[in-house]
Structure 1
Amino acid sequence: MKAADRQRAILDLVLTREANVEQLSATLSVSEATIRRDLTVLAKEGRLVRTYGGATVLVGVHEPEASLDERKTTQREQKEAIAQAAALHVADGETVLLDGGTTCAALARHLVTRQDLHVVTNNLLAVSTLVNASGVRLTMIGGDVRASSMSTLGPLAELALSRLTVDCAFLGADGVVAGFGLCEASAQQAWLKECIVARAAEVIVLADTDKLGRARQQHWTPIQRDWRLITSWMADEAMLLPFRALGEVTVEVARRDLA
Protein backbone atom coordinates (compact mmCIF):
# COMPACT_ATOMS: atom_id res chain seq x y z
CA MET A 1 0.00 0.00 0.00
CA LYS A 2 1.30 3.45 -0.87
CA ALA A 3 2.17 5.74 2.03
CA ALA A 4 -0.50 8.30 1.06
CA ASP A 5 -3.20 5.60 0.96
CA ARG A 6 -2.03 4.15 4.28
CA GLN A 7 -2.08 7.57 5.92
CA ARG A 8 -5.60 8.20 4.60
CA ALA A 9 -6.64 4.85 6.12
CA ILE A 10 -5.06 5.82 9.45
CA LEU A 11 -7.06 9.06 9.51
CA ASP A 12 -10.23 7.14 8.73
CA LEU A 13 -9.60 4.66 11.54
CA VAL A 14 -8.70 7.38 14.03
CA LEU A 15 -11.90 9.26 13.26
CA THR A 16 -14.03 6.37 14.50
CA ARG A 17 -12.04 5.68 17.66
CA GLU A 18 -8.89 6.58 19.55
CA ALA A 19 -6.36 4.05 18.30
CA ASN A 20 -2.86 3.19 19.44
CA VAL A 21 0.12 2.15 17.35
CA GLU A 22 -0.37 -1.56 18.01
CA GLN A 23 -4.01 -1.48 16.91
CA LEU A 24 -3.23 0.46 13.74
CA SER A 25 -0.35 -1.87 12.92
CA ALA A 26 -2.56 -4.96 13.23
CA THR A 27 -5.44 -3.46 11.27
CA LEU A 28 -3.30 -2.28 8.35
CA SER A 29 -0.86 -5.23 8.43
CA VAL A 30 2.28 -3.07 8.59
CA SER A 31 5.01 -2.72 11.20
CA GLU A 32 4.65 -0.49 14.24
CA ALA A 33 7.68 1.47 13.03
CA THR A 34 5.85 2.26 9.77
CA ILE A 35 2.79 3.40 11.72
CA ARG A 36 4.93 5.67 13.92
CA ARG A 37 6.51 7.27 10.85
CA ASP A 38 3.07 7.84 9.33
CA LEU A 39 1.76 9.37 12.55
CA THR A 40 4.74 11.70 12.66
CA VAL A 41 4.07 12.85 9.09
CA LEU A 42 0.35 13.36 9.77
CA ALA A 43 1.08 15.27 12.97
CA LYS A 44 3.51 17.60 11.19
CA GLU A 45 0.83 18.26 8.57
CA GLY A 46 -1.62 19.17 11.32
CA ARG A 47 -4.01 16.37 10.40
CA LEU A 48 -3.87 14.68 13.80
CA VAL A 49 -2.20 15.01 17.18
CA ARG A 50 -0.20 12.41 19.06
CA THR A 51 -1.27 11.45 22.56
CA TYR A 52 0.43 9.53 25.34
CA GLY A 53 1.14 5.91 24.49
CA GLY A 54 1.00 6.43 20.74
CA ALA A 55 -2.75 7.00 20.53
CA THR A 56 -4.00 9.63 18.13
CA VAL A 57 -6.83 12.12 17.98
CA LEU A 58 -8.01 13.76 14.81
CA VAL A 59 -7.82 17.53 14.57
CA GLY A 60 -10.58 19.19 12.57
CA VAL A 61 -8.83 21.26 9.89
CA HIS A 62 -10.61 23.40 7.35
CA GLU A 63 -9.32 23.52 3.79
CA PRO A 64 -10.45 25.76 0.91
CA GLU A 65 -13.38 24.40 -1.06
CA ALA A 66 -12.64 23.39 -4.65
CA SER A 67 -14.19 25.50 -7.40
CA LEU A 68 -16.86 24.12 -9.70
CA ASP A 69 -14.40 24.03 -12.62
CA GLU A 70 -11.95 22.04 -10.51
CA ARG A 71 -14.66 19.58 -9.51
CA LYS A 72 -15.74 19.06 -13.11
CA THR A 73 -12.24 18.00 -14.16
CA THR A 74 -11.22 15.99 -11.06
CA GLN A 75 -11.63 12.19 -11.09
CA ARG A 76 -13.86 12.29 -14.17
CA GLU A 77 -13.29 8.63 -15.04
CA GLN A 78 -14.19 7.51 -11.53
CA LYS A 79 -17.28 9.72 -11.41
CA GLU A 80 -18.53 8.35 -14.72
CA ALA A 81 -18.17 4.75 -13.53
CA ILE A 82 -19.87 5.57 -10.22
CA ALA A 83 -22.72 7.32 -12.05
CA GLN A 84 -23.31 4.33 -14.32
CA ALA A 85 -23.32 1.97 -11.35
CA ALA A 86 -25.76 4.25 -9.54
CA ALA A 87 -28.10 4.35 -12.53
CA LEU A 88 -28.60 0.59 -12.19
CA HIS A 89 -30.40 1.29 -8.91
CA VAL A 90 -33.03 3.46 -10.64
CA ALA A 91 -36.14 1.84 -12.11
CA ASP A 92 -38.77 3.38 -14.37
CA GLY A 93 -41.71 4.73 -12.41
CA GLU A 94 -39.69 5.65 -9.31
CA THR A 95 -39.15 8.99 -7.62
CA VAL A 96 -35.48 9.72 -6.96
CA LEU A 97 -33.58 12.67 -5.55
CA LEU A 98 -30.29 13.90 -6.98
CA ASP A 99 -28.15 15.95 -4.63
CA GLY A 100 -25.83 18.73 -5.76
CA GLY A 101 -22.38 17.96 -7.12
CA THR A 102 -20.71 16.75 -10.28
CA THR A 103 -21.14 13.02 -9.63
CA CYS A 104 -24.90 13.39 -9.24
CA ALA A 105 -24.86 15.55 -12.38
CA ALA A 106 -23.11 12.67 -14.17
CA LEU A 107 -25.86 10.33 -12.93
CA ALA A 108 -28.48 12.62 -14.47
CA ARG A 109 -27.00 11.97 -17.92
CA HIS A 110 -27.79 8.26 -17.50
CA LEU A 111 -31.43 8.91 -16.65
CA VAL A 112 -32.51 10.86 -19.74
CA THR A 113 -33.96 7.78 -21.48
CA ARG A 114 -35.95 6.52 -18.49
CA GLN A 115 -39.74 6.41 -18.63
CA ASP A 116 -42.20 7.63 -16.02
CA LEU A 117 -39.36 8.73 -13.79
CA HIS A 118 -39.77 11.56 -11.29
CA VAL A 119 -36.51 13.32 -10.43
CA VAL A 120 -36.38 15.76 -7.53
CA THR A 121 -33.19 17.80 -7.36
CA ASN A 122 -31.42 20.88 -6.08
CA ASN A 123 -28.68 20.34 -8.70
CA LEU A 124 -28.82 22.95 -11.47
CA LEU A 125 -26.38 20.92 -13.58
CA ALA A 126 -28.78 17.97 -13.42
CA VAL A 127 -31.73 20.21 -14.30
CA SER A 128 -30.05 21.38 -17.51
CA THR A 129 -29.50 17.74 -18.48
CA LEU A 130 -32.98 16.42 -17.68
CA VAL A 131 -35.25 19.34 -18.54
CA ASN A 132 -35.96 18.08 -22.08
CA ALA A 133 -36.11 14.35 -21.25
CA SER A 134 -39.56 13.25 -22.39
CA GLY A 135 -39.96 10.42 -19.90
CA VAL A 136 -38.76 12.37 -16.88
CA ARG A 137 -40.88 14.56 -14.65
CA LEU A 138 -38.56 17.09 -13.04
CA THR A 139 -39.07 18.90 -9.73
CA MET A 140 -36.58 21.61 -8.84
CA ILE A 141 -36.07 22.33 -5.15
CA GLY A 142 -35.91 26.09 -4.76
CA GLY A 143 -33.80 28.15 -2.43
CA ASP A 144 -30.61 30.16 -2.47
CA VAL A 145 -28.25 29.34 -5.34
CA ARG A 146 -24.76 28.27 -4.30
CA ALA A 147 -22.54 29.18 -7.25
CA SER A 148 -19.58 27.02 -6.21
CA SER A 149 -21.68 23.88 -6.65
CA MET A 150 -24.53 25.16 -8.85
CA SER A 151 -27.07 23.87 -6.35
CA THR A 152 -29.76 25.32 -4.12
CA LEU A 153 -30.05 25.24 -0.34
CA GLY A 154 -31.45 27.17 2.58
CA PRO A 155 -34.88 27.45 4.26
CA LEU A 156 -36.91 27.29 1.04
CA ALA A 157 -35.15 24.10 -0.05
CA GLU A 158 -35.69 22.59 3.39
CA LEU A 159 -39.39 23.53 3.29
CA ALA A 160 -39.82 21.90 -0.13
CA LEU A 161 -38.20 18.70 1.11
CA SER A 162 -40.53 18.56 4.10
CA ARG A 163 -43.42 18.11 1.65
CA LEU A 164 -41.82 15.25 -0.31
CA THR A 165 -40.73 11.65 0.00
CA VAL A 166 -38.57 9.76 -2.52
CA ASP A 167 -37.80 6.14 -3.24
CA CYS A 168 -34.07 6.76 -3.33
CA ALA A 169 -31.77 9.71 -2.63
CA PHE A 170 -28.35 9.94 -4.25
CA LEU A 171 -25.99 12.09 -2.19
CA GLY A 172 -22.61 13.62 -2.89
CA ALA A 173 -20.26 15.17 -0.30
CA ASP A 174 -16.91 16.85 0.19
CA GLY A 175 -15.93 13.78 2.21
CA VAL A 176 -17.42 10.61 3.64
CA VAL A 177 -16.07 9.04 6.82
CA ALA A 178 -17.15 5.74 8.34
CA GLY A 179 -18.94 6.30 11.62
CA PHE A 180 -19.21 10.07 11.14
CA GLY A 181 -21.12 10.59 7.90
CA LEU A 182 -20.81 13.24 5.22
CA CYS A 183 -18.42 16.17 5.52
CA GLU A 184 -19.43 19.56 4.10
CA ALA A 185 -18.10 23.11 3.83
CA SER A 186 -21.16 24.79 5.36
CA ALA A 187 -23.78 24.08 7.99
CA GLN A 188 -26.56 24.74 5.46
CA GLN A 189 -25.23 22.05 3.13
CA ALA A 190 -24.91 19.54 5.96
CA TRP A 191 -28.41 20.24 7.28
CA LEU A 192 -30.00 19.99 3.83
CA LYS A 193 -28.46 16.56 3.36
CA GLU A 194 -29.83 15.51 6.73
CA CYS A 195 -33.28 16.65 5.57
CA ILE A 196 -32.83 14.57 2.40
CA VAL A 197 -31.84 11.47 4.37
CA ALA A 198 -34.99 11.80 6.47
CA ARG A 199 -37.25 11.85 3.38
CA ALA A 200 -35.78 8.91 1.43
CA ALA A 201 -36.68 5.23 1.58
CA GLU A 202 -33.15 4.39 0.42
CA VAL A 203 -29.94 6.42 0.67
CA ILE A 204 -26.99 5.98 -1.70
CA VAL A 205 -23.78 8.01 -1.30
CA LEU A 206 -21.65 8.52 -4.42
CA ALA A 207 -17.98 9.11 -3.60
CA ASP A 208 -14.76 8.79 -5.59
CA THR A 209 -11.58 7.80 -3.77
CA ASP A 210 -10.63 11.42 -3.04
CA LYS A 211 -13.71 11.61 -0.81
CA LEU A 212 -13.19 8.42 1.22
CA GLY A 213 -11.97 9.24 4.70
CA ARG A 214 -11.79 12.92 3.83
CA ALA A 215 -12.55 15.06 6.86
CA ARG A 216 -11.18 18.46 5.95
CA GLN A 217 -14.36 20.46 6.45
CA GLN A 218 -16.11 21.15 9.73
CA HIS A 219 -19.79 20.42 9.13
CA TRP A 220 -21.26 16.93 9.22
CA THR A 221 -24.34 15.01 8.16
CA PRO A 222 -24.62 11.80 10.22
CA ILE A 223 -26.31 8.85 8.53
CA GLN A 224 -27.88 6.85 11.33
CA ARG A 225 -29.63 4.24 9.22
CA ASP A 226 -28.84 1.66 6.53
CA TRP A 227 -27.18 3.17 3.45
CA ARG A 228 -25.13 2.23 0.40
CA LEU A 229 -21.74 3.61 -0.60
CA ILE A 230 -20.83 3.49 -4.28
CA THR A 231 -17.18 4.21 -4.99
CA SER A 232 -14.74 3.21 -7.72
CA TRP A 233 -12.32 0.41 -8.54
CA MET A 234 -9.48 2.64 -7.37
CA ALA A 235 -10.47 2.27 -3.71
CA ASP A 236 -8.17 -0.22 -2.01
CA GLU A 237 -9.25 -2.42 0.88
CA ALA A 238 -7.70 -0.12 3.49
CA MET A 239 -10.03 2.67 2.36
CA LEU A 240 -13.06 0.38 2.36
CA LEU A 241 -12.40 -1.57 5.55
CA PRO A 242 -13.83 1.05 7.96
CA PHE A 243 -17.07 1.11 5.94
CA ARG A 244 -17.29 -2.67 5.62
CA ALA A 245 -16.94 -2.89 9.41
CA LEU A 246 -20.21 -0.99 9.86
CA GLY A 247 -23.28 -3.18 9.71
CA GLU A 248 -25.47 -0.42 8.30
CA VAL A 249 -23.29 0.28 5.23
CA THR A 250 -23.34 -1.71 2.00
CA VAL A 251 -20.19 -1.06 -0.04
CA GLU A 252 -20.39 -1.24 -3.85
CA VAL A 253 -17.37 -0.79 -6.10
CA ALA A 254 -17.99 0.47 -9.65
CA ARG A 255 -15.96 -1.35 -12.29
CA ARG A 256 -13.52 0.53 -14.48
CA ASP A 257 -15.20 -0.75 -17.66
CA LEU A 258 -18.27 1.33 -16.74
CA ALA A 259 -16.28 4.56 -17.16
Structure 2
Amino acid sequence: MKVAKRREEMLEAVNAGITNVEALCSHFRISEATARRDLAALSKSGLLVRTYGGAIAHIGPFERELTLEQRRSQHGDVKACLAECALDFILDNETLLLDGGSTTAALASRLSERRGLHVITNNLVALPWLANLPDGHVTVLGGDLRTTSMSTYGPLAHNALTRLTVDRLFLSADGVVAEYGLCEASPEQTWLKEAMMQRAAEIYIMADATKLGRASQQHWASLPRRWTLITNANDPAQLEAFAKRGAVIYSTDAYFDRTGQ
Protein backbone atom coordinates (compact mmCIF):
# COMPACT_ATOMS: atom_id res chain seq x y z
CA MET A 1 0.00 0.00 0.00
CA LYS A 2 1.31 3.44 -0.93
CA VAL A 3 2.21 5.74 1.96
CA ALA A 4 -0.37 8.41 1.11
CA LYS A 5 -3.17 5.84 0.87
CA ARG A 6 -2.14 4.15 4.13
CA ARG A 7 -2.07 7.47 5.98
CA GLU A 8 -5.48 8.36 4.63
CA GLU A 9 -6.84 5.06 5.90
CA MET A 10 -4.98 5.47 9.20
CA LEU A 11 -6.70 8.81 9.74
CA GLU A 12 -10.04 7.11 9.13
CA ALA A 13 -9.09 4.36 11.59
CA VAL A 14 -8.18 6.85 14.31
CA ASN A 15 -11.43 8.74 13.73
CA ALA A 16 -13.23 5.40 14.07
CA GLY A 17 -11.64 4.73 17.45
CA ILE A 18 -8.45 2.75 16.75
CA THR A 19 -6.20 5.08 18.69
CA ASN A 20 -3.12 3.28 20.02
CA VAL A 21 0.02 2.33 18.14
CA GLU A 22 -0.21 -1.39 18.89
CA ALA A 23 -3.74 -1.64 17.50
CA LEU A 24 -2.81 0.38 14.40
CA CYS A 25 0.20 -1.88 13.77
CA SER A 26 -2.03 -4.93 13.93
CA HIS A 27 -4.73 -3.35 11.79
CA PHE A 28 -2.38 -2.26 9.00
CA ARG A 29 0.26 -4.98 9.48
CA ILE A 30 3.05 -2.45 9.78
CA SER A 31 5.92 -1.92 12.21
CA GLU A 32 5.70 0.35 15.23
CA ALA A 33 8.26 2.69 13.67
CA THR A 34 6.14 3.03 10.52
CA ALA A 35 2.98 3.66 12.53
CA ARG A 36 4.69 6.37 14.56
CA ARG A 37 6.03 8.07 11.40
CA ASP A 38 2.56 8.05 9.87
CA LEU A 39 0.97 9.47 13.01
CA ALA A 40 3.66 12.15 13.25
CA ALA A 41 3.02 13.18 9.65
CA LEU A 42 -0.75 13.33 10.19
CA SER A 43 -0.27 15.31 13.38
CA LYS A 44 2.08 17.78 11.65
CA SER A 45 -0.63 18.33 9.04
CA GLY A 46 -3.13 19.11 11.78
CA LEU A 47 -5.33 16.13 10.94
CA LEU A 48 -5.10 14.40 14.33
CA VAL A 49 -3.58 14.86 17.77
CA ARG A 50 -0.70 12.75 19.07
CA THR A 51 -1.08 11.18 22.50
CA TYR A 52 1.18 9.06 24.65
CA GLY A 53 1.13 5.72 22.81
CA GLY A 54 -1.08 6.72 19.91
CA ALA A 55 -3.36 9.48 18.61
CA ILE A 56 -6.89 10.84 18.77
CA ALA A 57 -9.10 12.68 16.33
CA HIS A 58 -8.67 16.44 16.05
CA ILE A 59 -11.55 17.70 18.20
CA GLY A 60 -11.35 21.47 18.20
CA PRO A 61 -9.26 24.62 17.78
CA PHE A 62 -6.25 24.97 20.04
CA GLU A 63 -5.73 28.00 22.26
CA ARG A 64 -2.59 29.88 23.13
CA GLU A 65 -1.33 28.70 26.51
CA LEU A 66 -1.97 31.21 29.28
CA THR A 67 0.88 32.74 31.23
CA LEU A 68 1.29 32.02 34.92
CA GLU A 69 -0.03 35.47 35.86
CA GLN A 70 -3.09 34.99 33.64
CA ARG A 71 -3.79 31.63 35.28
CA ARG A 72 -3.50 33.14 38.74
CA SER A 73 -5.97 35.91 37.93
CA GLN A 74 -8.67 33.67 36.43
CA HIS A 75 -11.50 32.28 38.59
CA GLY A 76 -9.61 32.84 41.84
CA ASP A 77 -12.76 32.52 43.96
CA VAL A 78 -13.70 29.24 42.26
CA LYS A 79 -10.22 27.83 42.77
CA ALA A 80 -10.48 28.71 46.45
CA CYS A 81 -13.77 26.79 46.64
CA LEU A 82 -12.26 23.78 44.90
CA ALA A 83 -9.33 23.89 47.32
CA GLU A 84 -11.65 23.92 50.32
CA CYS A 85 -13.53 20.90 48.95
CA ALA A 86 -10.27 19.07 48.26
CA LEU A 87 -9.07 19.75 51.81
CA ASP A 88 -12.12 17.84 53.06
CA PHE A 89 -10.51 14.59 51.79
CA ILE A 90 -7.14 15.09 53.47
CA LEU A 91 -6.31 13.65 56.88
CA ASP A 92 -3.42 14.38 59.20
CA ASN A 93 -0.18 12.45 58.56
CA GLU A 94 -0.97 11.53 54.95
CA THR A 95 1.37 11.63 51.96
CA LEU A 96 0.12 13.85 49.15
CA LEU A 97 1.28 14.50 45.59
CA LEU A 98 0.44 17.91 44.14
CA ASP A 99 0.56 18.54 40.40
CA GLY A 100 1.63 21.85 38.89
CA GLY A 101 -0.93 24.60 38.31
CA SER A 102 -2.69 27.49 40.00
CA THR A 103 -5.61 25.34 41.18
CA THR A 104 -3.37 22.90 43.06
CA ALA A 105 -1.41 25.90 44.38
CA ALA A 106 -4.69 27.11 45.90
CA LEU A 107 -4.96 23.78 47.68
CA ALA A 108 -1.36 24.14 48.91
CA SER A 109 -2.36 27.42 50.58
CA ARG A 110 -4.79 25.45 52.80
CA LEU A 111 -2.60 22.52 53.80
CA SER A 112 -1.31 24.18 56.95
CA GLU A 113 -4.74 23.26 58.38
CA ARG A 114 -3.53 19.64 58.59
CA ARG A 115 -0.66 18.24 60.65
CA GLY A 116 2.11 15.83 59.78
CA LEU A 117 1.65 15.90 56.01
CA HIS A 118 4.33 14.76 53.62
CA VAL A 119 3.75 16.74 50.42
CA ILE A 120 5.52 15.80 47.19
CA THR A 121 5.21 18.28 44.34
CA ASN A 122 6.60 19.63 41.09
CA ASN A 123 4.65 22.85 41.70
CA LEU A 124 7.18 25.57 42.52
CA VAL A 125 4.43 28.17 42.95
CA ALA A 126 3.12 26.12 45.89
CA LEU A 127 6.38 26.10 47.85
CA PRO A 128 5.90 29.31 49.88
CA TRP A 129 2.72 27.85 51.39
CA LEU A 130 4.29 24.44 51.96
CA ALA A 131 7.34 25.84 53.75
CA ASN A 132 5.54 26.04 57.10
CA LEU A 133 3.45 22.88 57.29
CA PRO A 134 2.84 21.91 60.95
CA ASP A 135 5.05 18.87 61.66
CA GLY A 136 5.20 18.44 57.89
CA HIS A 137 7.74 17.46 55.27
CA VAL A 138 8.08 18.59 51.65
CA THR A 139 9.73 16.77 48.75
CA VAL A 140 10.27 18.68 45.50
CA LEU A 141 10.42 16.67 42.29
CA GLY A 142 13.48 17.70 40.32
CA GLY A 143 13.78 18.08 36.58
CA ASP A 144 13.58 20.71 33.91
CA LEU A 145 11.86 24.01 34.68
CA ARG A 146 8.72 24.84 32.75
CA THR A 147 8.57 28.63 33.14
CA THR A 148 5.00 29.08 31.86
CA SER A 149 3.68 27.15 34.86
CA MET A 150 6.71 27.27 37.19
CA SER A 151 6.71 23.51 37.51
CA THR A 152 9.26 20.77 36.90
CA TYR A 153 9.05 17.87 34.47
CA GLY A 154 11.20 15.45 32.52
CA PRO A 155 13.25 12.29 33.18
CA LEU A 156 14.44 13.34 36.64
CA ALA A 157 10.86 13.86 37.84
CA HIS A 158 9.81 10.52 36.36
CA ASN A 159 12.72 8.73 37.98
CA ALA A 160 11.88 10.20 41.40
CA LEU A 161 8.27 9.06 41.07
CA THR A 162 9.31 5.43 40.53
CA ARG A 163 10.62 5.45 44.12
CA LEU A 164 7.50 6.97 45.71
CA THR A 165 3.90 6.09 46.50
CA VAL A 166 1.28 8.48 47.89
CA ASP A 167 -2.09 8.36 49.61
CA ARG A 168 -3.65 11.07 47.48
CA LEU A 169 -2.84 12.83 44.21
CA PHE A 170 -4.38 16.19 43.27
CA LEU A 171 -4.27 17.12 39.58
CA SER A 172 -5.36 20.07 37.47
CA ALA A 173 -5.33 20.52 33.68
CA ASP A 174 -6.02 22.96 30.87
CA GLY A 175 -9.09 20.88 30.02
CA VAL A 176 -10.87 17.68 31.01
CA VAL A 177 -12.83 15.78 28.35
CA ALA A 178 -14.63 12.57 29.28
CA GLU A 179 -13.78 10.79 26.03
CA TYR A 180 -10.10 11.73 25.97
CA GLY A 181 -8.80 12.71 29.41
CA LEU A 182 -6.69 15.66 30.56
CA CYS A 183 -5.31 18.04 27.95
CA GLU A 184 -2.11 20.04 28.23
CA ALA A 185 0.14 22.07 25.97
CA SER A 186 3.07 19.64 25.94
CA PRO A 187 3.49 15.85 25.86
CA GLU A 188 5.92 16.04 28.79
CA GLN A 189 3.13 17.38 31.02
CA THR A 190 0.73 14.60 30.10
CA TRP A 191 3.36 11.88 30.53
CA LEU A 192 4.17 13.20 33.99
CA LYS A 193 0.49 13.28 34.96
CA GLU A 194 0.09 9.65 33.88
CA ALA A 195 3.19 8.69 35.87
CA MET A 196 1.76 10.48 38.90
CA MET A 197 -1.52 8.60 38.59
CA GLN A 198 0.33 5.29 38.66
CA ARG A 199 1.82 6.12 42.09
CA ALA A 200 -1.36 7.20 43.92
CA ALA A 201 -3.91 5.23 45.92
CA GLU A 202 -6.55 7.94 45.40
CA ILE A 203 -6.72 10.38 42.49
CA TYR A 204 -8.52 13.74 42.52
CA ILE A 205 -8.90 16.04 39.52
CA MET A 206 -9.73 19.64 40.39
CA ALA A 207 -11.48 21.41 37.49
CA ASP A 208 -13.87 24.34 37.39
CA ALA A 209 -16.84 24.31 35.03
CA THR A 210 -14.94 26.10 32.25
CA LYS A 211 -12.41 23.25 32.08
CA LEU A 212 -14.93 20.44 31.55
CA GLY A 213 -15.31 19.50 27.90
CA ARG A 214 -12.59 21.98 26.97
CA ALA A 215 -10.12 20.65 24.39
CA SER A 216 -7.88 23.69 24.34
CA GLN A 217 -4.53 21.92 23.87
CA GLN A 218 -3.23 19.06 21.78
CA HIS A 219 -1.70 16.56 24.22
CA TRP A 220 -3.70 14.16 26.38
CA ALA A 221 -3.31 12.08 29.54
CA SER A 222 -5.76 9.20 29.89
CA LEU A 223 -8.22 9.20 32.77
CA PRO A 224 -7.71 6.52 35.44
CA ARG A 225 -10.28 3.79 35.99
CA ARG A 226 -11.31 5.20 39.37
CA TRP A 227 -11.03 8.86 40.39
CA THR A 228 -12.80 11.81 41.99
CA LEU A 229 -13.77 14.96 40.09
CA ILE A 230 -13.90 18.06 42.28
CA THR A 231 -15.83 20.75 40.38
CA ASN A 232 -18.32 23.58 40.55
CA ALA A 233 -20.05 22.37 37.36
CA ASN A 234 -23.72 21.43 37.72
CA ASP A 235 -24.78 20.21 34.25
CA PRO A 236 -26.19 16.71 34.94
CA ALA A 237 -25.55 15.39 31.42
CA GLN A 238 -21.97 16.62 31.44
CA LEU A 239 -21.27 15.17 34.87
CA GLU A 240 -22.87 11.87 33.93
CA ALA A 241 -20.39 11.53 31.07
CA PHE A 242 -17.55 11.70 33.60
CA ALA A 243 -19.30 9.28 35.96
CA LYS A 244 -19.39 6.77 33.11
CA ARG A 245 -15.60 7.21 32.86
CA GLY A 246 -15.06 6.13 36.45
CA ALA A 247 -15.46 9.44 38.27
CA VAL A 248 -17.05 10.05 41.63
CA ILE A 249 -18.41 13.58 41.39
CA TYR A 250 -17.76 15.92 44.34
CA SER A 251 -19.66 19.14 43.81
CA THR A 252 -18.77 22.42 45.49
CA ASP A 253 -22.51 23.19 45.72
CA ALA A 254 -23.14 19.95 47.63
CA TYR A 255 -20.14 20.61 49.88
CA PHE A 256 -21.23 24.10 50.88
CA ASP A 257 -24.85 22.97 51.33
CA ARG A 258 -23.61 20.25 53.71
CA THR A 259 -21.31 22.52 55.66
CA GLY A 260 -23.75 25.44 55.73
CA GLN A 261 -21.17 27.90 54.40
TM-score range, shorter chain: 0.7 to 0.9
Structure 2 equivalent of residue 254 of structure 1: 252
Q: How does 1:207-246 map to 2 (within 5 A)?
A: 207-232=207-232, 234-246=233-245
Seen in structure 2, the aligned counterparts of structure 1 residues 240 and 130 have a Cα distance that, compared at 3 Å, is same
1:147 Cα deviation (Å)?
1.2
- Name the structure 2 match of 1:12: none
Counterpart-to-counterpart distance in 2, 1:139 and 1:229: 25
Gaps of 5+ in 1: 1-14, 18-56
- Aligned mates of 1:80, 1:164 — CA distance in 2: 28
**Greater relative contact order: 1 or 2 (C-alpha under 8 angstroms, separation 6 or more)?**
1
The 10-residue stretch of structure 1 (130-139 or 205-214) with the greater mean CA deviation from structure 2:
130-139
Task: Report the identity percentage.
Answer: 47
Residue of structure 2 in register with 1:86 after alignment: 86
RMSD: 2.2
Say whether 1:125 aligns with 2:134: no
Distance 1:239 1:139, change over 3 A: same
Residue 95 of structure 1 contacts residue 166 of structure 1 at CA under 8 Å; is this kept in 2? yes
* Alignment correspondent of 1:188: 188
For residues 137-184 of structure 1, give each alpha carbon's deviation from its aligned partner in whole angstroms, at most 9, with x where no partner exists: 100001111111111111111111111000110001011111321111
Q: Distance in 1 between matches of 2:234 and 2:127?
A: 30
> In 2, distance between residues paired with 1:195 and 1:58?
24
The answer for unaligned runs of 5 or more in structure 2 is 1-14, 18-56
Amino acid aligned to 1:231:
T
SS in structure 2 at match of 1:112 = helix
CA-CA distance at 1:224 after TM superposition = 3.3
Alignment of 1:124-203 (within 5 A): 124-203=124-203
Query: Conserved in 1, the CA contact under 8 Å of 2:178 and 2:241?
Result: yes
Distance 1:211 1:227 in 2: 17
Q: Report the counterpart of residue 50 of structure 2 in structure 1.
A: none
Contact kept in structure 2, 1:181 and 1:223, CA below 8 Å: yes
CA distance, structure 2, for counterparts of residue 16 and residue 150 of structure 1: 38
- How far 1:60 moved relative to its partner? 4.4
Distance 1:122 1:188 in 2: 13
Q: Distance in 2 between matches of 1:95 and 1:158?
A: 18
Deviates more, 1:235-244 or 1:155-164: 235-244
Paired amino acid for 1:168:
R
Give, in whole Å, the separation in 1 of the partners of 2:234 and 2:123.
26
Task: Supply the AA of the counterpart residue of 1:245.
Answer: K
